[in-house]
Amino acid sequence: MSYEILKTQIQEGIAMVTISRPKAMNALNTAFFDEMNALLDELNSNDEVKVMIITGEGKAFVAGADIAEMVNKNQDEGQAFSEYGQRTFDRIENMPFPVIAAINGFALGGGCELAMSCDFRIASTKAKFGQPEVNLGLIPGYAGTQRMARLIGKADAMYLLLTADMIGADEALRLKLVQRVFEPETLMDEVMKIAKNIASKGPQAIRKVKEVTSKGLNTSFSEGAALEAKQFGTLFGENSEGKEGMSAFLEKRKPNW
């Protein structure tokens, strides 16, 4: 399928997805959500994909939702637009393989929410983060209130949500909203190194780490540990990835995934 907003490339098991509405600062509209859902369908059925990277074209990752589209919506339409975005970001969060946000510039409003739906975030030193919705008499609509509080803690999240302050990459790193920060000219190279490193590991092990960690956070510790033990065991079956990895280690060779 061809896309107008999303530029996609799959190479060495890594799906690079670039949001391309630079004149609109990559603002999120219905067409974006339509395309992203279609793309997620494609990638979900592609066994070759091991890692996905999402970034933005130009000076923004995503500068927010498309206000020009939202302004004429009524109450029901506004709720539906929020729910559509939430379902899309839930799908990103629950993709079977890791999803990395490569934040090259402004990640505001819906852009910050998109970044938070990814498994982790790598930022340029020029990146800016914020949830400015209250400046417009709105609140975040794509589960930003929920993800931010869970990622950085309630008090810091409340401060950012209530003040609408925009923070830089260093402050985002301090708050653990992002995991690494690089200079703009090296950002994508560094993100690709991280993606290739992950893609070189056991693909089933990588998927199971994501599954067990995510599901475990929504259960008790004992239930999460039990799920871990069960999935750990599945990697010991005959001709399994775990058997190959351990044999390769003992034989001092690279594993054949």
Of 17-26, 164-173, 233-242, where does mean pLDDT reach its minimum?
233-242
Entry pTM: 0.95
Q: Is 37 exposed, middle or buried (0-12, 13-18, 19+ CB in 10 A)?
A: middle
User: How is domain 6-199 classified at the CATH fold level?
Assistant: 2-enoyl-CoA Hydratase; Chain A, domain 1 (3.90.226)
Of 30-34, 143-147, 158-162, 253-257, where does mean pLDDT reach its minimum?
253-257
Residue burial 195-222, b: 16+ Cβ < 10 Å; e: rest: beebbeebbbbbbbbbebeeebeeeeee
Q: Region 90-111: what's the mean pLDDT?
A: 98
> 102: which residues sit within 8 A by CB, 6+ positions away?
53, 54, 55, 61, 122, 187, 188, 191
Residue 239 has a pLDDT of 85
**Per-residue pLDDT tens digits for 142-187:** 999 999 999 999 999 999 999 999 999 999 999 999 999 999 999 9
Of 90-94, 157-161, 253-257, where does mean pLDDT reach its minimum?
253-257
User: Contact, 63 vs 25, CB < 8 A?
Assistant: yes
- Kindly tell me if the per-residue pLDDT of 38 is higher than 80: yes
Nearest to 118 by CA among 67, 80, 65, 61: 61
- Kindly tell me if the per-residue pLDDT of 1 is higher than 80: no
Q: Where are the domains of the chain?
A: 6-199, 203-250
- Kindly tell me if the per-residue pLDDT of 70 is higher than 80: yes
- Kindly tell me if the per-residue pLDDT of 56 is higher than 90: yes
Across the beta sheet with 180-182, what order do the strands follow?
Answer: 6-11, 14-19, 51-56, 99-103, 120-124, 180-182
For the chain, what is the mean pLDDT?
A: 97
User: Contact, 53 vs 13, CB < 8 A?
Assistant: no
Residue 238 has a pLDDT of 84
106 pLDDT band, cuts 50/70/90, is very high
Q: Which pairs count as long-range contacts for 68-72, CB under 8 Å and 24+ apart, including other chains?
A: 69/29, 69/30
Q: What amino acid positions are annotated as catalytic residues? A: 113, 133
CA dist 101 and 172 (Å) reads 14
